[in-house]
Structure 1
Amino acid sequence: MKKKWYVSMLALVLAISLALVGCGKSSEETGTKDSGGSAGGSGDKETTLIFGRGGDAVSLDPATATDGESFKVTQNIFDTLISFGEQSTDLEPGLATEWNASEDGLTYTLKLREGVKFHDGTDFNAEAVVANFKRWQSGDKEQYYYYNSQFGDIITEVKAEDPTTVVFTLSRPLAPFFKNLAMSPFAISSPAAFEQHGDKYNENPVGTGPFKFKEWKRNDRITIEKNAEYWMEGEPKLEQVIFTVIPENSARLNALQTGEVDLIDGVNFSDVPSIDGNDSLQTFFRPSLNIAYLGLTSTRGPLKDKLVRQALNHAVDKQALLDAFYAGEGTPAKNPMPEVVEGYNAAIEDYPFDLEKAKALLAEAGYADGFEMELWAMPVARPYMPDGQKVAEALQANFEKIGVKAKIVTYEWATYLDKARAGEADSFLLGWTGDNGDADNFLYVLLDKDSIGSNNYSYYSNDEVHNLLIEAQSTVDQAKRNELYARAQEIIKDDAPWIPLVHSTPALAGKANLKGFKPHPTGSDKLTGVEFE
């Protein structure tokens, strides 16, 4: 009864909150029409975009963020040195207009865009780039997760040759170096701002991007406003963007249908037909570059045994998960990265759904009667995981059939990530949307021993895999890199630190009069070209 009362009260509070969101907003906040025109002062045209999303950001300092909700915002406050294509991971100019590498792969030179200012009025130049890299290099490795996982100690010097030229010297070649620079975590911050704000910089972000940070009301909304001095002519088109938190997918869709928000992510795949049938709405599909997985922490209890991890792999019906929770929009996963990433090993055969084989492996490992473990369910909807609780319940039912009793546990999102990163989970649902389209960004970042304590939540460590991944990083020949990654995937499959579940094709929805929105495969969307008709 107590649980039912709590759920009912939660639903009531959510309903009241949504009503207040709609009723309490002035036209200045929402960009809707009133007798005096719109919020942006451009006649009757809406100029504020309200983006409904499932969870709040964790940090607005891109260098310390690891979650998609944070990058969704920082992508629009900051710029990176090199940019990705509109809907690809092809490299294009950003704050740098040219870049090249030496023949030995140890020196990388970038020419920078002139005349760019940070939002605080200070100059963007080569010295600012040097200051950012010094900050990441000298900081706590556990704080700058991405820098540690993508560069480690490889960069030995960052030098400003002149105001528009920066030169990187490496201790060994790094094949994905330029692609790494285009990733959201390596956006360039104002040195004056991060020095001024110190530990509070994550709440006071200052970049060169199309929008300036305005305010953050925790677990409610983040507001950013147009940077009128943006270096890209004619952009952004919007005056303001409000990222608002609506945890439940169905409530988020309802807010879109009633006009409280303009754009949402985390659309239930089963809702796509009804959205397509509504003339006032439209759907968007994000190009797939993701993996949903159940991590099996290899340092805990029975999960230390490879046979146990293999048994759990055999116990999962991935196609049933895909049909039940993704409406078939995606593919069952067998490797830790999607097929579109070069180096994917298509020859690997997945663990078949075979409960008898799973029981036999458990018996061989000494767990014929099964065992108990925790199964952590994600508390927020993500593009690769539309409903963590329901997916956890399905996995729980599968494991019950082989005698494994899985207790479902969850936490608030930031706490969930922190505790899982610390190795406190037995098994945990999580996923990854690729940052740069390179195999290194999946295999090394998520499963190398160097990444334990950052993005390797399963604490998987294999020296042979490590050597293969380091060699692949240091090899310029892509064909050779592909061979190394193929071998690494074979070993990882046998060691079974994960149960790869699904590669999804995430769905989003928006108002029919919204144009210029191009979902990016990395999940970090630039909103510069978005406007209302």
Structure 2
Amino acid sequence: MKSSMISRLIWALPIACIAPLTWASNQTLVFCSEGNPEFLKPSLNTNTTSFDVTEQIFDKLVTFEPGGTQVIPALATRWTVSPNGLEYTFHLRRGVKWQSNALFTPRRDFNADDVLFTFERQWKRDHPFYTVTSAKHVYFNDVGMPEVLASLQKLDDHTVKFTLKQPDAPFVANMAMSWAGIESAEYARAMRQAGTPEKIDQAPLGTGPFQLLRFEKDVALTYEAFAKHWAGRAKLDRLVFDITPDAGQRWAKLQSGACHVMAYPNPADLPSMRDDPRMAVMNQTGLNVGYVAYNLLKKPFTDVRVRRALNMAINKRRILRVIYKNTAVPAINPIPPMVWSYNREVEDDVFDPVAAKKLLVEAGYPAGFSTTLWAMPVQRPYMPDAMGVAKLVQEDLAQVGVTVKIDSPDWVNYVSGMQAGEHDMGILGWTGDNGDPDNFLNTLLGCTSLKGHNVAKFCFAPYDDLVKKAKVSSELDERARLYHRAQAIFKSQAPWFTLAHTVQFKVLRAEVQGFVLSPSGRHSFDGVSLKP
């Protein structure tokens, strides 16, 4: 298994780089987070935990409106699209300042060079920063940028043009996602000249509302407000991510006042949280899906009959009742019902252990088989207790002769290991980034995502052709028809056991003001303050 990059990042912010920490201000908010980030560089990250960390530091060209998926200006004040849908011209905001540290003091404002640097280091294999920290630019690849991007030009210091090889319907929405955080070309050049190019990813500097001061693995990340942020200084002076993997401990810290906001409460604790007058419980239908992925590169999961048999052998309703405590609805398709183009004619797998056993006999496994199931060690928006789910799946599959061993690698290696195909079966899920079906159907299940988010290693031409055609179509009705057909094929091929779409909950102390729920489950704090 791949070694964790975190061990190489914890020294990233030496004491010389930061100011002494003081806690005199009452505008210090502590967020009880659930885990360590994978990286401090946005384009290398693949999960919400990590993007929560980098979203505070880096701005994008465009972003999503608070609480929604409508794309609005950020580092670009406006953009235009050519009539043929192949040229996207972004007009950049002037006067945007960069953060600084003891390693680097910027001599200029944000400009087009930074945009070119950010995307070319992910795109061009001969770029001097392509392999710095990691050459695995998962999101850039999984949203299809290498296939769709023809050129990127600097027209002047405040104008850039992306030229595409073919139309790409979700292009602008993809640019609003967290992976596209803009980095400083000047900082990169300075660190390369100093012989330490990796420093730009270990001591990150952005244009965002908060600057990272310190990261201690398994302990905390500490930020301070960036006074020169182009949208105005954040209301908070300090922001701390208190890394607390256990939901019970996060709740205890929230009750004691050690934290102000907590991620991913245990569903069983929600009644007492709602009854506590010191707390506010926020909820919103989640743009998410939880699932069990079968690794289609490994036997016996290469046989669709085995996958269908296991889907019939698992009691989904019991999992929703016991683990989710009725805070979720059964997942049938790989996209949630709130996403346009959801196919309501697709029927869910029937729980039928007898039929499952017959199908295993037909597939050549009359005595069953042995396999492993990975269960994540952290809570996610779509998965309150992966180990609990794994044990129920283990019990159900034992009834049809399948012996399951449960493994639970640490979270960073869990994600990278599943992307590398080290699992047999694995519990995972997804929170949508932009509200477009492509963000689920292509990013998670397309052939171009086999080395990234497509952890089932599902590459089926009849399915892939449909999602690729939908991606380049500018007609919403046509895209919906193609996605309807793709969902039916997905269900018949059964690369996943689709499990649940959850309601997302956030619990915060009553003194927290201005916190807005995000459909993508992100935690943003630039508009948040604490009542005195």
2:119 is the alignment partner of 1:133: yes
* 1:156 aligned counterpart, secondary structure: strand
Q: CA deviation at 1:431?
A: 0.7
For 2:79, give the aligned amino acid. W
Distance change >3 Å, CA 30–CA 367, structure 1 → 2: farther
Kindly provide the CA deviation profile for residues 359-382 of structure 1, in whole angstroms up to 9, marking residues without a partner as x. Answer: 111111111211110011101111
Aligned to 2:13: none
Matching residue of 1:154: 148
Residue in structure 1 matched with residue 378 of structure 2 by the alignment: 380
Task: State the alpha-carbon separation in 1 of the partners of residues 284 and 33 from structure 2.
Answer: 15
Which residue in 1 is equivalent to 2:109?
123
CA distance in 1 between partners of 2:389 and 2:214 (Å) = 35
Q: Alignment partner for residue 419 of structure 1, among 410, 417, 426?
A: 417
- Distance in 2 (alpha carbons) for counterparts of 1:29 and 1:249: 27
Structure 1 distance, partners of 2:257, 2:512, is 12
Residue 294 of structure 1, CA deviation: 0.3
Q: Distance in 1 between matches of 2:187 and 2:36?
A: 23
Give secondary structure in 1 for the equivalent of 2:44: coil
Q: Which residue of 2 aligns with 1:524?
A: 522
Q: Distance in 2 between matches of 1:108 and 1:328?
A: 44
Secondary structure of the structure 1 residue equivalent to 2:377: coil
2:137 alignment counterpart: 144
Indicate yes or no: 2:407 matched with 1:409: yes
Unaligned residue ranges in structure 2 (runs of 5+): 1-19, 101-105, 125-129
Q: Distance in 2 between matches of 1:65 and 1:286?
A: 25
**SS of residue matched to 1:152:** helix
Kindly provide the amino acid, as one letter, of the partner of residue 420 in structure 2.
A
How far did 1:142 drift? Answer: 5.3
Residue 302 (structure 1) aligns with: 300
Whether contact under 8 Å (2:27, 2:530) holds in the other structure is: yes
C-alpha distance in structure 1 between counterparts of 2:98 and 2:434, whole Å: 25
- What secondary structure is seen at the aligned counterpart in 2 of 1:468? helix
Structure with the larger helix share: 1
1:311 and 2:314 are equivalent in the alignment? no
Structure-2 residue corresponding to 1:20: none
Aligned residue in 1 for 2:264: 266
CA deviation after TM superposition for structure 1 residue 30, in Å? 8.2
Aligned identity (percent) is 37
Alignment check: 8 A CA contact 2:42 2:181 kept: yes
Contact 2:97 2:109 (C-alpha < 8 Å) held by counterparts: yes
Output the CA distance in 2 between the equivalents of 1:194 and 1:214: 19
- The question of whether the paired residues in 2 share the 8 Å contact of 1:79 and 1:207 is answered with yes
Query: Secondary structure of the residue that 2:321 maps to in structure 1?
Result: helix
Q: What residue number does 1:70 align with?
A: 50
Structure 2 distance, partners of 1:205, 1:286, is: 32
CA shift, 1:199, in A, is 3.0
2:79 to 78, 96, 99: 99
Which residue among 429, 432, 442 is the counterpart of 1:431?
429
Q: Distance in 2 between matches of 1:449 and 1:530?
A: 40
Q: CA RMSD in A?
A: 1.5
1:202 shift after superposition? 2.9
Q: Matched residue of 1:108: which SS? A: strand
Letter of the 1:524 counterpart: R
Structure 1 counterpart of 2:27, from 26, 29, 47: 47
Name the aligned partner's letter for residue 331 of structure 2.
A
Cα distance in 1 between the residues matched to 2:470 and 2:273: 44
Q: Is the 8 A contact 1:29 1:48 kept in 2?
A: no
Q: TM (normalized to structure 2)?
A: 0.90
Say which SS state the counterpart of residue 42 (structure 2) adopts: coil
Residues 391-434 of structure 1 show CA distances to partners (whole Å, capped at 9, x for unaligned) of 11111111111111110011111111121111110000011111
Contact 2:117 2:183 in 1 (8 A): no
> CA contact under 8 A between 1:58 and 1:70: conserved in structure 2?
yes
Please say if residues 203 and 216 of structure 1, whose CA atoms lie closer than 8 Å, have aligned partners that are also in contact: no
Cα offset, 1:152, TM superposition = 2.2
Distance 1:485 1:142 in 2: 31
Q: Name the stretch that deviates more: 276-285 or 208-217.
A: 276-285
Q: How does 1:157-196 map to 2 (within 5 A)?
A: 157-195=151-189, 196=191
> Which residue of 1 is the match for residue 510 of structure 2?
512
CA distance in 2, matches of 1:373, 1:30: 52
Measured in 1, the distance between the counterparts of 2:321 and 2:273 equals 19
Structure 1 letter corresponding to 2:465: N
Q: Which residue of 1 aligns with 2:38?
A: 58
How far off is 1:341 after superposition?
A: 1.3
Does 2:197 correspond to 1:198? yes
- The answer to whether the 8 A contact 2:291-2:496 is kept is yes
**8 Å Cα contact 1:179-1:436 kept in structure 2:** yes
